[in-house]
Amino acid sequence: MQFNLFAITSAFVGAVSFSLSLFILANSKNRLHRVWGFFNLAVSVFGLGAFLVAISTNYQSAFWSWKLAFVGIAFIASFFYHMTHEYCKLTNKKMLWFVYAHGTIFAVLTVTTDFIFHEMQYMFGEFFYYKAGLGFNILFPVWVMIVGKGFMNMYSLMMKAKGAERIQARYLFGAMLLGFSGGATTSMPSWNIPIYPAWHIFICVYATVCTYAILKHRFLNIEFVVRRAAVYAGLFVFVYGVFAIFAITGQQILRDLLGWNEWLAMMPPIILVVLVVKPLEAFLSEKTDKFLFQKKYNYRELMQLFTTEVLMIFDLEKVTQHTVEALDNIIKLESCAVILSDDEDGFKISASRGVENTNVTFAMEDPIIQHMRYSGEPLHLDVLIKRPGSSKVLIDALNKLNSRICFPITFNKEFLGILSLGAKKSGEDYTSNDIDILGSLARAEAIAVKNARSNSDLVKAKARQHLGDMADGMSHQFNNRFGTIVALLGFQEILIPEALTHVKDVSLEEQNKKLRESLELALAAIAEARDSAFRGGEIAKTLLVHTRPERIGFGVHDISKGVPLGLNLVALKHTDFKSIKVVQRIDANLPPTWSSLSIIQEILLITLDNAYDAIKTREQSQPGHEGVIEIHISHKPNERFIRMVVKDNGCGIKPADLVTVNAGVPYFTTKGSASQKSGYGAGVHTLGEYVGILGGRHRYESQYGEWTSCVIDFPVRSKPEEALAPAEQTHGQNSHR
């Protein structure tokens, strides 16, 4: 046996082609796949024969090895033509009969006669090479013509095809041309043309290009076959290999320790292997299907996901992220993305997995947006490719998203975006059942997106409303400070020159007295001005804390931390709030809960603001009444909620009004004074909305003329899905201002 470059390249050609043929034949779905598999098998037979020729050291061995190689060569043209015949969907059966007859005759004559070649010569100082016989010189030109006709078929298809199909045809045409060009050079030495027969290595390149096209461009729609087989084979070899090592080790132990002879020691491992191989195969098959290529996902699980999780999330980013992750985990997708409209940039990817270019954007005018917006129907890549006249732009858009199917996300005819799903890892197509259920999910996604956007708008609107409400107070606060400074310093500007003027005409003692008085007044004015400026700064700081954007975010918080901020805000709004005694009773070790401190702060602002008004109202009718507000936050070990009670000793709520207040009627106000701003009672409704966002519940209790309590329960939770049941209505003497 001898190794040389011809042997190595031939071994590669044989091994690569054989592997490819095995994968394709083992998992073929149609005739095209099978013919392609046989084509590769024929190439591998040629590779094997050439390898045996290259390592042969004697004439006879090389001679029969060439005959084996020629059997492969004979059928390469036949299978190649048949493959193009299937690929191009040709109907001419006569040509098929002809090419197979040619291949059969070529092979039979090669094996049974010396008509194709009958002698060899030692070439390149390495191996015996056949000399072209009469039969070869007759049949090989026909072989070349058959191959040429196959290429013509492919070229014709390539020119007619569009979109992805054209890309696939180009790959196949280019790869085949490369492979055949390389392979054909191996015939040259047979005519004494001294070209070293190593260029058939290009056949390996052909196989590599085809594999790349299969995976990247869904060549022949069998990418899952190759991938699935590769994953399965890899796992099987690994697990079985480990198992085999244990078996061999066991065999050695039996032989060495028990003294069994080699054949006897082999029996237990063989029996074990035979018993285990089928269950192991079944186990691996099930596991690879379940965890890598989940075939049948659970519709119920999907629906439950959207009704109990996605729809309950009010943060848009989390909605889309959760959607993508959940769909990917349940269906096992190559890629998944949610594309949403953006005011500034058109449509862009909000969340994705497995999408290569996450910066893809679409304008409103883009065909994919227009199509989905107006048709309201999903776009299925497989359907588009197969349908004659499909828009290449649409196919390209889907390819940009690595998408196999896209669903419109539409809410009440309002087009919000696209739900894009890539190929399933199982390789299975999307069935009509899949499309139905995923279409429903896209509609649920639209509700979730709309909810999240509305909530975001609501939070912003409420924040703006409160800021607007506070703006009056803020403006008053700032301008009072500045007004005071202007008045104090302005007056000093007048007084000091006057003092200096007057002291000229009086005695020294009188001068000292007047100057001292003047300086004392000036010092007092400066101190007032300094205090005013300082208070202005404190107001500005509190306002900044209130409006700092990061405070809007949700997270696991100790809600009692919102109390100081709420108190600061209400004190800013009402400068005489300090006249009211505030008693805080906050339990130690309150459990942290999923909430937003910003919203907690708003809730406290509303409740404290109402408490302030109630106390002030009572003060009008009862001069000298001392206002007290109690803030009590508690949690009992076995309860699922944290309770916050804000109680004031203000005017209370009439029983009839309390029913309306607890019913959460929007814009209801118990304030009768014409001097009050209209719609102030909307704060109570807003409170309900804020509490609802946090998954809590609230109610008012009151004794008219004596007190009012706002009782708010916040759920103890680490995630947003757990909300409390609505508060039970209490019947008693309740009221609200």
Q: Which of 619, 605, 647, 674 is nearest to 736 (CA)?
A: 647
Regarding 479 and contact with other proteins (CB under 8 A), the answer is yes
Write down the least CB distance from residue 396 to other proteins, Å. 55
Phi, psi of 672 (to 5 degrees): -95, -15
Give 2 or 620: the residue with its C-beta nearer to other proteins.
620
Contact 248, 50 (CB under 8 A): no
Regarding 501 and contact with other proteins (CB under 8 A), the answer is no
Give 111 or 495: the residue with its C-beta nearer to other proteins.
495
585 DSSP β-pair partners: 632
Give 92 or 620: the residue with its C-beta nearer to other proteins.
620
Give 123 or 488: the residue with its C-beta nearer to other proteins.
488
Write down the least CB distance from residue 701 to other proteins, Å. 23
Which string of b and e fits 387-405 if b means at least 16 CB within 10 Å?
eeebbeebbebbbbbbbbb
Write down the least CB distance from residue 518 to other proteins, Å. 13
Structure tokens belonging to residue 724: 């409390």
The CA-to-CA distance between both ends of the chain, in Å, stands at 104
Regarding 705 and contact with other proteins (CB under 8 A), the answer is no
Q: Residue holding tokens 């776009």?
A: 379
Regarding 528 and contact with other proteins (CB under 8 A), the answer is yes
Regarding 520 and contact with other proteins (CB under 8 A), the answer is no
Which region among 10-18, 76-84, 482-490, 723-731 touches other proteins (by CB under 8 A)? 482-490
Compute, in degrees rounded to 10, the torsion defined by CA atoms 54, 57, 60, 61. Answer: -50
Write down the least CB distance from residue 536 to other proteins, Å. 11
Query: What is the C-alpha separation between 71 and 311, in angstroms, rounded?
Result: 65
CA 476, distance to chain mean position in Å, is 49
DSSP string, 424-484: BTT-PPPPHHHHHHHHHHHHHHHHHHHHHHHHHHHHHHHHHHHHHHHHHHHHHHHHHHHHH
Query: What is the C-alpha separation between 67 and 524, in angstroms, rounded?
Result: 118
Give 473 or 592: the residue with its C-beta nearer to other proteins.
473
**Number of CB atoms found within 10 A of residue 685's CB:** 18
Q: How far is CA 71 from CA 74, 77, 121, 612, in A?
A: 5, 11, 20, 100
Regarding 477 and contact with other proteins (CB under 8 A), the answer is yes
Q: Residue holding tokens 């004559």?
A: 109
Regarding 283 and contact with other proteins (CB under 8 A), the answer is no
Count interface residues toward other proteins (CB under 8 A).
32
Regarding 475 and contact with other proteins (CB under 8 A), the answer is yes
Regarding 624 and contact with other proteins (CB under 8 A), the answer is no
DSSP string, 208-250: HHHHHHHHHH-GGG-HHHHHHHHHHHHHHHHHHHHHHHHHHHH
Q: Which of 571, 566, 576 is nearest to 546 (CA)?
A: 566
Give 58 or 675: the residue with its C-beta nearer to other proteins.
675
Regarding 356 and contact with other proteins (CB under 8 A), the answer is no
Query: What is the C-alpha separation between 555 and 577, in angstroms, rounded?
Result: 31
Phi, psi of 296 (to 5 degrees): -110, 105
The residue from 294, 323, 532, 702 that contacts other proteins (CB under 8 A) is: 532
Site string for other proteins, 536-575 (x = CB under 8 A): --------------------------------------xx
Site string for other proteins, 652-691 (x = CB under 8 A): ---------------------x-x----------------
Write down the least CB distance from residue 406 to other proteins, Å. 50
Site for other proteins in 572-591 (CB under 8 A): 574-576
The residue from 110, 190, 335, 484 that contacts other proteins (CB under 8 A) is: 484
The residue from 363, 486, 540, 656 that contacts other proteins (CB under 8 A) is: 486
Write down the least CB distance from residue 676 to other proteins, Å. 8
Contact 337, 351 (CB under 8 A): yes
Regarding 517 and contact with other proteins (CB under 8 A), the answer is no
Structure tokens belonging to residue 469: 């409400």
Site string for other proteins, 421-460 (x = CB under 8 A): ----------------------------------------
Give 96 or 521: the residue with its C-beta nearer to other proteins.
521
Regarding 621 and contact with other proteins (CB under 8 A), the answer is no
Give 282 or 471: the residue with its C-beta nearer to other proteins.
471
Regarding 86 and contact with other proteins (CB under 8 A), the answer is no
Which region among 191-199, 244-252, 556-564, 609-617 touches other proteins (by CB under 8 A)? 609-617
Phi, psi of 512 (to 5 degrees): -60, -40
Regarding 494 and contact with other proteins (CB under 8 A), the answer is yes
Contact positions vs other proteins (CB under 8 A): 472-473, 475-480, 482-488, 490-491, 493-494, 525, 528, 532, 574-576, 613, 616-617, 619-620, 673, 675
